[in-house]
Amino acid sequence: MSVLTRRRWLNLGLLGLVGGLAALAWLESRQERLAGVPALLELTPAQTERIAVERPGQADLAFKRSDGRWWMTAPESGLANPILLNSILNLAGVHCPLRYAVAELDLKALQLDPPRLRLWLNDREIRFGATTPTDGQRYLQIGATVSLCPDRLYSLLTSAAASFRAPPIGSSASSGARGE
């Protein structure tokens, strides 16, 4: 191997090391910034007993926890899909560093008056507004504060109500066993 080839490999290795250290420093600084930001709500998933979603132009959704399981109570009744509800429950713990006082904002321009969607976790209301055009974050209003948060739930909350029902267990296996 020539000296020039060894130097190229050494330079590539050093470049990779510098890139890795820079990425690590960036991730740590991001975590430190988020560590000082309080969660959206002081509510854990275990403390949540009721979920309600008011969806203009669509059927409202309602869920309640009973005996450790989530049940859909509106617009249909039955066992709820726990994976989808866990996504909703985790919203309370999201850290959104950009927060504004309601008095400083034009709520109509942000589509928070009226809101595009309302979500209640127990008795705490979260109003969903517009998304930002630059990074797709969504305006969420809780009381007198508007937070700019990652938009992870709006499309889920506006999906078909039937998708929130738990899939029946063994229905395809039992129909196959009967020879239907």
* Per-residue tens of pLDDT for the chain, all 180 residues: 788 888 888 888 888 888 877 777 666 655 544 456 788 898 889 999 999 999 999 999 999 999 989 999 999 999 999 999 999 999 999 989 899 999 999 999 999 999 999 999 999 999 999 999 899 899 999 999 999 999 999 999 999 999 999 887 765 444 444 444
Residue closest to 55 by CA, chosen among 127, 116, 141: 116
Structure tokens at 45: 């998933």
Contact 102, 146 (CB under 8 A): yes
Count of C-beta atoms within a 10 Å radius of residue 74? 14
